[in-house]
Amino acid sequence: MKIALIGNQNCGKTTLFNRLTGENAHVGNFPGVTVEGKSGIVKGHKDIIIVDLPGIYSLRPYSSEEIVSRDFIVNEKPDVLLNIVDATNLERNLYLTVQLIEMRVPMVLALNMMDEVRAGGGVIDVGELSRGLGIPVVPISAAKNEGMQELFTEVADAASLKKVPLVKDMCHRGPVHRCIHSLSHMVEDHAERVGISPRFAAMKLIEGDSEFVGRLGLSQNELESAEHLVTEMETEGRLDRNAALAKMRYDFIEEVMRTAVKKSGDSPEKKRSEKIDRVLTHRFFAIPIFLLIMLGVFYLTFNVIGSFLSDLLALGVDRVIEFVDKTLTGWDINPAVRSLVVDGALSGIGSVLSFLPIIVVLFFFLSLLEDTGYMARVSFVMDKALRALGLSGRSFVPMIIGFGCTVPAVMATRTLPSDRDRKMTMLLLPFMSCSAKIPIYAVFSAAFFPHRGALVMFSMYIIGMAVGVLAALVMNKVAFKGTSAPFVMELPNYRFPTPKTTFRMMWDKAKGFIEKAFTVIFAASIIIWFLTSFDSRLNYTADNSVSILAMAARKISPIFAPLGFGDFRAVIALISGFSAKEAVVSTLGVLLGASSSELPLALSGIFTPLSAFSFLIFNLLYTPCVAAIASYRKEMSTVGSFGVIFMQCVVAWIASFAVFNLGGLILTLF
């Protein structure tokens, strides 16, 4: 049995999916497209698969998610649709429901958040709602695990008995009814061949879904007749085709709700959210409050909790390395082998691994902000600012993800409805400082800006966003002229974070960081060690200044001399950063022969505070890692991915040049 789970964004769909599958989910792309989806086996039922379709508001072919959801239902033919709706926003949620009813597929409605409805004094007659819609309706609370067994029983019955919706016509008179009725008869044979209901095919004709209409294989005469019927409907009803369909659906929803909703009332959560939003989404104070919150997060991460834990872990890592070094020396191991283990593998991994607490603590706070519903408000608040750049608040969602990692951020642009917005947003993502750069900021802050780590970290994020703003202004005027697509986003009620969700996110980040440390960074450290431990004749040398990599780095180091860091070791670190940004720190540790706790002091030999800040700016802005470039190549093209590399490097060089030289001028004057 195959169940398709579908609903609006922020209606509890993911929570319900996790309840039904026990979080045993498989993530992958839908066939033929790049939109990601989840599927899983229902707990206790190995022969039942549930597919979590993207969160959407309608089945109109407006975004890639809507197309994916529509095509999955039509092509994959699930045994039953499980439509989850937010009972506290019933009228808006039911708009998608009535479109699904038009498809004439077995269907069950999960009426979620009923606990909040009851808490607000609301009363919904579930039986009357079921009769009005013509489908089974089950009240649940996915968050509190209420009604799960009843829901699954109803879903299984609907699938096995093939219970299609009982309601066929949502209006029984007027121009819209006549148009749909006539078109349904016209396309009946074509719809049967494609395997869809004639009424749904008629709706696609009226909506002008050209890709879907093409599947019906209508003749030119049939297409002209259909257009004539739609034009007559628009003329008689004095509404354009989409407005006429929307009115028909909302009239039907209002009629159903008039009998089903006995008493409505705002839940305590909604009342509380409205009060909080008066401050956090204030016209003037919203953005300053957001910046203050983020500054507080960085302060706690870098000056209080994270730095303390990081220092403890660094001390432990140093003790391990010291023990291994003494052991290998005592065994009289070959110096090259000892150097490979101590200076290559352990120092490379250890210098990065010591920053694990900072990563975990930072994402603990970000998870709290996400889980409370605050991040959705930030996207809403940023919509006006982003529109000035030619984008919408929807683009801020991938940007927020970009602060974690550029790879999933690039994938998140798939949700943007227009190709213009998608490409423009992708080009801005590398300016958002990803978490892989945190070890670089942390070690340089400890070396050159002690007691100001939070301020340096905060400045990196702000500078990255500021450069992104300038790049967006240029691209909007030159390469991506036009206006952005409309932005619609659900603002969920504020809720207390769930420990399970928060700690799962922390674990995911920690797991990903550790996996990278023992794979990509380990490999990069070994390669860097080899290239810095052998000369051009492959003779082992303790002096890395005569190594293979030093010779190559000196050839290009003049390019970086105007930026304040022409030392070949800094150049080598930047090259290794292309494999993974954390490798910049591990490479410097290998080159300087310093442990994680000794590295900040060792850096003072090749950097000044000004050149260190210039180096940070370059790392903030230069080319993303190889994994991110691979994702760009997948989403754009090979030429496009190389264009990203070139653009980022040029912008990084200009910004670092400006910082170093203007900073030097200011220091000279004052």
C-alpha distance from residue 154 to each of 49, 52, 151 (Å): 16, 18, 5
C-alpha distance from residue 561 to each of 509, 532, 556, 557, 649 (Å): 36, 21, 9, 6, 15
Instruction: Say yes or no to pLDDT of 28 above 50.
Output: no
Q: What is the dihedral of CA 401, 90, 275, 505, to 10 degrees?
A: -30
What is d(CA 26, CA 6) in angstroms, rounded to the nearest whole number? 17
Beta-bridged to residue 25, according to DSSP, are 40
Instruction: Say yes or no to pLDDT of 435 above 50.
Output: yes
Mean pLDDT along residues 373-382: 79
Question: How confident is the model at residue 255, as a pLDDT?
Answer: 92
Instruction: Enter the DSSP assignment of 22.
Output: T
Residue type, 401: I
Question: How confident is the model at residue 137, as a pLDDT?
Answer: 95
Residue 108 has a CB neighbour count (10 Å cut-off) of 25
Whole-model pTM: value is 0.65
What is d(CA 403, CA 624) in angstroms, rounded to the nearest whole number? 13
pLDDT, tens digit, 9 for 90 and up, residues 525-565: 777 778 777 877 778 777 767 778 778 778 888 899 899 88
Spatial contact of 389 and 421, defined as CB atoms under 8 Å apart: no
Mean pLDDT along residues 221-230: 89
User: Token pair for residue 556?
Assistant: 């290009």
Phi, psi at 509, each rounded to 5°: -65, -45
pLDDT band at 33 (very low <50, low <70, confident <90, very high): very low
Residue 650 has a CB neighbour count (10 Å cut-off) of 12
Spatial contact of 547 and 533, defined as CB atoms under 8 Å apart: yes
The residue whose two tokens read 């490979």 is 340
pLDDT band at 344 (very low <50, low <70, confident <90, very high): low
Question: How confident is the model at residue 611, as a pLDDT?
Answer: 92
C-alpha distance from residue 427 to each of 112, 203, 395, 632 (Å): 38, 37, 11, 9
Instruction: Say yes or no to pLDDT of 27 above 50.
Output: no
Comparing 541 with 248, the larger pLDDT belongs to 248
C-alpha distance from residue 112 to each of 122, 260, 330, 492 (Å): 13, 15, 66, 13
pLDDT, tens digit, 9 for 90 and up, residues 501-534: 777 777 777 777 677 667 766 777 777 778 777 8
